[in-house]
Amino acid sequence: MSERGLAIAFALATACFWGVYGPTLGFARTPLKIADGGWSAFKPYVFIGIAYLVWGCLGGMLAMKYLGDSFAFSGAHKPAAIWGFIAGSLGAFGALTLTFAMMNAKGNAGLVMPIVFGGAVSVTAITNLVIMKGSAHTNPMMWVGMLLVAIGIVLVAKNTPHAAPGKPAAKPAAAAIGGPAATEKH
């Protein structure tokens, strides 16, 4: 497969992973308030961070070893550390704001994810324009494409079927009949 073909294949894989990320994050929410035994939207976020750390570091180091890269991050390799940290921070902030979005949308990934990904495409285009400081010709079709993306976001978000909200978990039997769990203080 050509490099371009591999790039497209990996981009499609990323779209698949991130496409199920939002609905999966919806499963991490609780139908109960914290006072009733539920949890905040940020309890799962902690494990999102742990997963990023484990898979990011492990995957990165395995790929570096496979490609014959060094594990040096100083001198000429310092930009990899600096820009990698900045990119990782932006990704983590994106996951944080996605968690806020999913929390406020009551886990409705069908509303949130089209906005996230449609918006990301446009932000990428604008970021590239800013980085290039007007040195590149901007095809007017890019703006048409951004308008079509905005229309697509609305159409997809409005017409995506939404899963039924989760049902509250049953209270433990001991708590329901006044057993030890009902009087226990935390």
* Residue 144 belongs to domain spanning: 108-167
Q: What is the pTM of this model?
A: 0.67
* 157 & 139 share domain: yes
Per-residue pLDDT at 99 exceeds 90? no
* 152-167: average pLDDT: 75
How far is it, in rounded angstroms, from Cα 76 to Cα 53? 24
User: For the stretch 149-164, what's the b/e string if a residue is b when 16 or more beta carbons lie within 10 angstroms of its beta carbon?
Assistant: beeebeebbeeeeeee
* 95 & 140 share domain: no
Give Cα 85 distance to the centre of its chain: 17
Domain count along the chain: 2
Q: What is the pLDDT of residues 26-67, one digit of tens each?
A: 788 777 788 888 888 888 888 888 998 999 999 999 999 999
How far is it, in rounded angstroms, from Cα 32 to Cα 39? 7
* 80 & 119 share domain: no
Cα torsion 36, 97, 28, 84 to 10°: value is -140
Note whether residue 43 is domain-resident: yes
* 153-175: average pLDDT: 67
* 85 & 25 share domain: yes
Looking at residue 180, its pLDDT comes to 46
Q: At 141, is the pLDDT very low, low, confident or very high (cuts 50, 70, 90)?
A: very high
* 92 & 132 share domain: no
* 61 & 114 share domain: no
